[in-house]
């Protein structure tokens, strides 16, 4: 069993790893999110590498993605599910060019966490706007 912090971190790492290549930009984004967002205020940031390794080990298992989603669902209270999707979108947007694999994973996160399409679109648009450059 994992806690809500770890569930949010797993969601971000799943997104980063969707295209099988976790970039420096994605790692930097995850680190900044964990360091600065209020939902992580009571999280010991020294545990971040352990959470990342746990997610990686889980994904190496048979049915790892299904098991990860199951753990995330159980650990996240309903009020943090949109937050989890927003964090996943932030990590995806860090790449500028989002792969088809990442888009598919974001769709799966929406379904697994019960995020309605209108809310998902608003969250996606917000992430896109925050990462826009000239």
pLDDT digits (tens, 9 = 90+) for 104-133: 999 999 999 999 999 999 999 999 888 888
CA separation for the pair 92, 111 (Å, rounded): 17
Residue 73 has pLDDT above 80, yes or no: yes
Per-residue pLDDT averaged across 64-71, rounded?
Answer: 94
Neighbours of 4 (CB within 10 A): 18
pLDDT at 41: 95
Q: Hey, what CATH topology would domain 4-130 get?
A: TerB-like (1.10.3680)
Q: What is the pLDDT of residues 11-26, one digit of tens each?
A: 999 999 998 888 888 9
Closest to 48 in 3D by CA, of 98, 1, 88, 10: 10
Phi and psi torsions of 108, nearest 5°: -65, -40
pLDDT at 100: 93
Spell out the domain ranges in the chain: 4-130
């Amino acid at each position: 069993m994992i806690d809500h912090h770890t569930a949010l971190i797993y969601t971000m790492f799943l997104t980063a790893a969707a295209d099988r290549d976790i970039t420096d930009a994605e790692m930097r984004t995850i680190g900044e999110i964990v360091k600065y967002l209020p939902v992580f205020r009571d999280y010991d940031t020294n545990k971040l590498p352990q959470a990342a390794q746990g997610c990686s080990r889980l994904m190496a298992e048979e049915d790892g993605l299904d098991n990860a989603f199951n753990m995330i669902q159980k650990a996240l209270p309903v009020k943090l599910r949109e937050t989890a999707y927003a964090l996943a979108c932030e990590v995806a947007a860090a790449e500028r060019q989002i792969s088809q694999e990442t888009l598919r994973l974001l769709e799966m996160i929406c379904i697994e966490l019960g995020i309605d399409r209108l809310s998902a679109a608003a969250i996606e648009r917000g992430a896109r706007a925050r990462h826009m450059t000239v």
